[in-house]
Amino acid sequence: MGTSYATEAEADAYFAERLNTSVWDGADSADKVKALKQATKAIDNLNFKGEKTSSTQEHEFPRYDDSEVPDKIKWANAEEAMMLLDGKDPEMEWENLDMVSQMYANIRSTYNRGSVPKNIVAGIMSQTAWRYLAPYLRDGRELTISRVG
pLDDT recorded at residue 117: 76
pLDDT recorded at residue 100: 61
Per-residue pLDDT for the chain (149 aa), expressed as one digit of tens each?
479 999 999 999 999 999 999 999 999 999 999 999 999 999 999 999 999 999 999 999 999 989 999 999 999 999 999 999 999 887 776 666 655 666 677 787 666 556 667 888 888 999 999 999 999 999 866 666 667 76
Residue extents of the structural domains in the chain = 8-136
pLDDT recorded at residue 149: 67
Using DSSP's 3-state secondary structure scheme, residue 101 falls into strand
* Single-letter amino acid code for the residue at 56: T
pLDDT recorded at residue 121: 80
**DSSP output for 10-44:** HHHHHHHTSSS-HHHHHS-HHHHHHHHHHHHHHHH
Sign of CA dihedral 113, 117, 120, 125: negative
pLDDT recorded at residue 10: 98
For the chain, how far is it from start to end, CA to CA, in angstroms? 36
pTM above 0.95, yes or no: no
CA gap 120, 123 in Å, rounded: 5
